[in-house]
Amino acid sequence: MNRKSIFIAIFLGLICLFSILLIQYIWIKKALSSQHTEIQLQMRKDSLNAIEFQQKVQGALRETSIKIALLNNDVSDRYGTVRRVQNNLFYVEFQGDLQKDFLINTLTREFDRMSVTNDFVVGLYNCYKNDVQYSHLIKFTGDRLFEKTNISIAHPSFYFTNESHYFAIYFPTVIPKNVDLSEDLGSPWVFLVMVCLLILVYLTYSILIIIRQKKLADIKTDFINNMTHELKTPIATIKLSSTALLSNDFSDDNDRLQRYASIIYSENKRLEEQVERVLTIAKMDKQSTPLKKAIVDIHDFIEEAHETFEMNLEEIGGSFQLSMKAKSHVLYVDSVHIKNVIFNLLDNAIKYRREDVPIQLVVATENDKKNLIIHITDNGVGIDKSDVKYIFDKFYRVPKGDVHDVKGFGLGLYYVKNIIEQHGGTIQIKSEKGKGSTFTITLPLKRIE
Ligand code: ADP
């Protein structure tokens, strides 16, 4: 899958996602608006029912109040004796005596006459005794019948506060005020947002996996190309030399015979070493390399490398400076691997030089409290920020289109990092594309194990 197909797949995926979300949005919006209309209708119906209920209750209570007044020969004005405190709570003022049985009988008869069929609590208050004499639930049992119960129901505290006699009627099953059901309408949106987030997370995750897979596939292809390229040259040389040996008679030209044989031998050795090196590093995992540690002077290694590389630089031109300021430079390390690390980094500095400027190499050492720090700086091609984070990965090479002008397998820095970490150290890089790079190795001073 190439880069273009990945982008097309991502683009199509996003279009599908947004289409699904748009359809969802339209559906939910439609469903909500019809639900809203339904709720409004229901609320209107409920409020009409509530008004009707209150009129019936107030009618029945007024009749009850008149009957109580008649019983007590009370001829005072009955206006305002029935009061609605809430949709489900009423109280009625009266003068004189009132038997609870008379009250209950009159109330049930009047409620029945007005077709009020809800359970209710009747509370009777005697202001002389400042006491609630009766407060019980009367249940509607169907067939136009009410039944007294012994269930005592706590009533709101504002029932009996005045200085006259009252009885209060409370309907526990009636909602005290109209509930605004539209408050619940937020939930589908929360759900939709959650679904969107989930899909986005899933999509991002999938895209990251696709990109990672593509990177791995590129690395693999790159590795195979490099390997083929690296192996082809010695194989071709061996083939040429052996063909020459086979097709000619060199029995009287011992020198040429020797030359061809040694070419075959050395190319074969190179081949073997290369395959061995690649396989060893490719198999290498953290902690897998057995280290043979000894006390060594790192400055000696650096000086040795300086001599070797200065000779190389004579051919290609450039300078190699040392700035060894570290006072403690004797460490307990595996000399072969640490030497390889230094040589690898210097090798890279030369491999990845800029053709248009003379190479400038600097190796500097210093100490902090616990470490020896080695900086290897070059003025080469540098590495882009987006690649820096990968360069220590196995097989990773900075992509340069289809053709790599510098040979390699992307194993050198992986090996370097691995070895340094096995010595308890760290390696970091600062690089600027087109300007150069600095690799900084930190190795602990005392690590004798
Ligand atoms: P190789 O050199 O075999 O490709 P390495 O692991 O040594 O593998 O390096 C990985 C990549 O890091 C290289 O392909 C190269 O692009 C980049 N690189 C390493 N060292 C340098 C350097 N000194 N300057 C610029 N780029 C570098």
Are 338 and 296 contacting, i.e. CB atoms less than 8 angstroms apart?
yes
Predicted local confidence at residue 158, as pLDDT = 46
- Read off the pTM: 0.57
Predicted local confidence at residue 394, as pLDDT = 85
Could you give the residue ranges of the DSSP H alpha helices within 248-297? 254-283
Enclosing H/E stretch for 133: strand 131-142
What's the full length of the chain, in residues? 449
Residue 287 Cα to ligand 1 middle (Å): 23
- Number of Cβ within 10 Å of residue 346's Cβ equals 22
- Check pocket membership of 436 for ligand 1, CB cut-off 6 A: no
- Check pocket membership of 341 for ligand 1, CB cut-off 6 A: no
Minimal CA–CA distance to 415: which of 223, 294, 312, 285? 285
Residue 432 Cα to ligand 1 middle (Å): 13
Burial class (CB in 10 A: 0-12, 13-18, 19+), 131: exposed
- Check pocket membership of 260 for ligand 1, CB cut-off 6 A: no
Predicted local confidence at residue 249, as pLDDT = 81
What is the best residue among 413, 418, 429 to mutate for testing ligand 1's pocket, by most ligand atoms within 8 Å of CB?
413
Are 420 and 441 contacting, i.e. CB atoms less than 8 angstroms apart?
yes
Give the mean pLDDT per block of 10 residues along the chain (449 residues): 73 83 84 88 86 90 89 76 84 83 89 88 78 78 77 59 75 70 59 83 87 82 80 88 86 86 90 84 72 92 91 85 94 92 94 91 94 96 92 85 66 92 94 95 78
- Check pocket membership of 412 for ligand 1, CB cut-off 6 A: yes
User: Amino acid identity, residue 118?
Assistant: N
Predicted local confidence at residue 178, as pLDDT = 52
Predicted local confidence at residue 403, as pLDDT = 45
What is the best residue among 223, 320, 352 to mutate for testing ligand 1's pocket, by most ligand atoms within 8 Å of CB?
352
